[in-house]
A and B are shown apart, each in its own frame.
Chain A
Amino acid sequence: MSVISLKEPEVVIREKRLGSITGFEGKASDLVQRAQAGKLHECTRSFSQCMNCGSGNALCQLSMIRDAAIVNHAPVGCAGDFFNYNYVYRVGQMSRDLPPSNGRYFNTNIDENDTIFGGTVKLENTVRAAYERVHPKAIFITTSCAVAIIGDDVEETANSLSEELNIPVVACFCEGFRSKIWTSGFDAAYHSIARKIVKPPRKKTNKVNVINFGGSHIFDELLEPLGYEAQYIVPFSSVADLEYISEAAATIQICPTLGTYLGAALEQVYGVPEMKSPPGYGIAGTDIWLRELGKVLDREAEIEKVILREHARLLPQIEAYRKIFQGKKAYITAGAAHGHSLIALLRELGFTVQGAAIFHHDPIYDNGEAVSDALAHAVKTYGDVPHYNVCNKQAYELMNILSKVHPDIMIARHGGMTIWGAKLGIPTLLIGDEQLLFGYQGLLNYAERLLETLDNKEFVTNLSKHSTIPYTKWWLEQDPFFFLGRNQNVEVY
């Protein structure tokens, strides 16, 4: 278990805190075994393609706090994702019936001069301007490689501006070079919220924190009859909402890779029980997850009724889908742990999962509970995945594998990956809203989309006839893990 310390300005990166890795190839069961025995070694690739960085993931969670402003202390290019998250924010406003508004994001626009003389004055001016312009309830400062290397004291600047402006001005340390695991950016964002925004509870409430990306509000239907209220965090929360997430009755995570740090922090520091089971994807997974929820919320009898009712409604429909999907081969590329959930879903529906390329692997989460291991759950419940590959968005490996295994369907969770399936004429499905797949109904929703995708061959067939492939013939004939230094034991990146 990692001990949460809210006194430190920075959260330790996942490689060191959890022992997470970004390179592996072998059987999923082998990875689980080695991870649980604490015997994971990082592999480094001698050829790699561009990844993501922590600052993007930090912004992903901070950018949609409704009354906060963001100051990105960086050269202007680091703000390249501003509009992206603003777009996500605005689309989310539509489904929540919120008035349209832009996120308020500022970039300090560090130039060559600042790299020599330091950029803290510019940072101060930007924070003050953001305050004047927006009157936010809090300002989050996200850092960058450039300001970290030149050594700007962002924490000190933030603290003195906090006093001056009388609102929390919070440094969030998420510079890209620190970690190969960009989900460290989620931890950085949550750390900044936990240490400077969240207050000790005044009382216990009937709210249940749902740590999520801003997907649909599927938990209302489940929690309301049980006498609880879902509180979706962090996107679309206000600063005031976040102040008292410490009062909640429990914390649910849509994906432990997203919420591991915040879930553990709320439990360790404020005693908010965190749901430990992997998120409820697939029938068996949902059963386990719901039973834990029943225990945590003291609603065990009610939950048993839900399980019975839903099984009766669902099972015949699922059986019909299983007949259709039986023997169909799927390949998955996604982030952990949602990728693990997708493995469970596909297996539940009768697919053969040929292999998976999952962006990283956390051997354990911050709560230190082996039961939270979503991959272990998938392997135990549904069997092994023979070709399991930990691969941080390396399209060249994916392309090599796909051209050899040629699955009936490719499942992707993130952008930049789907095109490779489609270029090979493989029907490819990306679902952005992970909540849509959650629980019993989620399985049905997924089955429907899978059927539709398998059925829709025309586009990919035609595209494959006219596509160019930017990879050499030589490469496509190699072992996909040619560049993965399997014998290099690098403990910490």
Chain B
Amino acid sequence: MSKFIEQPRYSCALGAQQSVVAIKRAVPIVHAGPGCSGKISRLIGQGEGYAGGSTIPCTNSSETEIVFGGEEKLNTLIEGAFKVIDADLYVVLTGCTADIVGDNVESVVAPWQDLDKPIVYAETGGFKSNNYVSHEVVVNAIIDQYVDKFCNDKSKIPHLVNVFATVPYQDPYWNGNLEEIKRILEGIGLTVNILFGTESNGVKEWQTIPKAQYNIVINAWSGLEIANHLKEKYGTPYIHFPYLPIGGKASSEFLHQVADQMKLDVKQVTSFIQKEEEKFYMHIERMADFLLEFRYGLPRRFYTILDASYAIGFAKYLLNELGLLPARQFIVDNTPKRFQDAIRNEFQHISEFRSAEVVFETDCGAIQESIAKDENKSRALILGSSWEKNLAQELKADLLTVSAPISHRLVLNCGYAGYNGGLRVVEDIYDRVLDTYR
């Protein structure tokens, strides 16, 4: 049984509307109550994007649709959406009302699909799961109902890969992260379907998903269902890197893993990694003296209150490359039980010399209470969300907001993945730390 949550950091199944908004020129069509879509935008939708926020078509289901069913209203809405909204892909998503009442959405959408309209549907009634899970459901629906149909030649293209990394918008830094991931994968000789955000080529790119030689999942668990699905459907093997690679060490490990599995040209791979590492460590070396010499207090231990992919990524980076020690680590994404051992194992071997304790907990009010009881003897860094602003003030800790909800930062293309992301982490943490002095 799911437990109550104080201070939620993710959305319900319908939250995957943001995954649709993240696809260039795609629009969700929401078949749900009147407030659902807006609440999702408010939690994880900083900036409307092309057709998100107030643009999203919605049946705004009312008592009539609950009593008599909402199929007809949905059909009229779809008809209107094709006329009014200029988009390349329309994704119908259901909310609680439609799913409890039992509207047959497939029967509404299928006739439009028969006309070869670019339209897809998925059942995302809020109570069914959360947006980490339904992100996979929606992506798989797009693959089955759209990509498969519009990709005539499914022969493989060597060195073409599909990337499934963090969940767009749920990860506030998704766009920047994807930009960097694409850059470094191109650096080792791959052609990259990044699928979401500014660096993607939109639906044209989605149409080549079946042609990829490999799928790459950069996530602790969300995204594996997509890779498994593609493996079954198109026989595409996948590479699983179970956390967000941040900084020199993790990024190089990530690239090596991809290169080894895909048997890429060793010379090109090594030369790219060397160049990136050289640049990265020049910067790190340049500021190492600052880390060692600054006299007035820097954070020495860190808490993470993040989703699994970020928590592992940050913990490894902060410990191994910046010398901060892990305090308690909390994973707040409702990680399914079957993935928890693997994540615990990552923390067990967080560095050569150390292991860290990790707690899976979605009720972040409980997490805050528990942290507040810790002995607060050295300056701490909290990696969390805007909910932690108060806790950080009380503990005189530094706070880097990495997780949704983020209300104290405006995020454009900032990303923490890769070599460049690693440097950005250092800048952002010590920007906040140094700003506390007069």
B387:A49 contact, CB within 8 angstroms: no
Report the minimum CB–CB distance from A105 to chain B (whole Å): 7
User: Count the B residues whose beta carbon is within 8 Å of the partner chain — how many?
Assistant: 75
Report the minimum CB–CB distance from B203 to chain A (whole Å): 15
In the docked arrangement, what's the CA distance between A84 and B101, Å?
30
Segment from B6-14, B147-155, B266-274 that makes contact with A = B6-14
Interface string of B28-50 (1 = CB under 8 A from A): 00100111111110111000101
A56:B38 contact, CB within 8 angstroms: yes
Segment from A144-152, A234-242, A303-311, A437-445 that makes contact with B = A144-152
Is B55 in the interface zone, CB < 8 Å from A? yes
In the docked arrangement, what's the CA distance between A107 and B364, Å?
11
Is B59 in the interface zone, CB < 8 Å from A? yes
B54:A468 contact, CB within 8 angstroms: no
Report the minimum CB–CB distance from A103 to chain B (whole Å): 10
Is A405 in the interface zone, CB < 8 Å from B? no
Which residues from 247 to 274 on chain A have a C-beta closer than 8 Å to any C-beta of chain B?
none
Report the minimum CB–CB distance from A376 to chain B (whole Å): 28
Residues of B within 8 A of A102 (CB): 7, 387, 390
Segment from A72-80, A208-216, A377-385 that makes contact with B = A72-80
In the docked arrangement, what's the CA distance between A87 and B43, Å?
12
Is A459 in the interface zone, CB < 8 Å from B? no
Which residues from 54 to 96 on chain A have a C-beta closer than 8 Å to any C-beta of chain B?
54-56, 71, 74-84, 86-87, 90
B76:A46 contact, CB within 8 angstroms: yes
Is A487 in the interface zone, CB < 8 Å from B? no
Is B58 in the interface zone, CB < 8 Å from A? yes
A51:B60 contact, CB within 8 angstroms: yes
A47:B83 contact, CB within 8 angstroms: yes
- The chain B residue sitting closest to A110, CB to CB, is B127
Report the minimum CB–CB distance from A189 to chain B (whole Å): 15
Residues of A within 8 A of B393 (CB): 100
A51:B48 contact, CB within 8 angstroms: no
Report the minimum CB–CB distance from B326 to chain A (whole Å): 25
Q: Which of B13, B36, B51, B81 contacts A47 (CB 8 A)?
A: B81
Residues of A within 8 A of B101 (CB): 149
Is A178 in the interface zone, CB < 8 Å from B? yes
A419:B63 contact, CB within 8 angstroms: no
Looking at A80, A107, A145, A149, which has the most chain B CB atoms within 10 Å of its CB? A80
Is B284 in the interface zone, CB < 8 Å from A? no
Which residues from 8 to 27 on chain B have a C-beta closer than 8 Å to any C-beta of chain A?
8, 10-15, 27
B36:A77 contact, CB within 8 angstroms: yes
Residues of A within 8 A of B35 (CB): 51-56, 78, 176, 182
In the docked arrangement, what's the CA distance between A109 and B365, Å?
14
B6:A111 contact, CB within 8 angstroms: no
Residues of B within 8 A of A133 (CB): 6, 365, 369
Residues of A within 8 A of B94 (CB): none
A107:B8 contact, CB within 8 angstroms: yes
Which residues of A are interface residues toward B (Cβ below 8 A)? 46-56, 71, 74-84, 86-87, 90, 100-102, 104-115, 122, 125-126, 129-130, 133, 144-146, 149-150, 175-180, 182, 393, 395-396, 415-417, 419, 468-475, 483, 493
Apart from A81-B43, A101-B390, A122-B1, what 8 extra A-B contacts exist at CB < 8 Å?
A49-B58, A53-B38, A77-B11, A83-B387, A107-B4, A115-B96, A177-B97, A182-B34
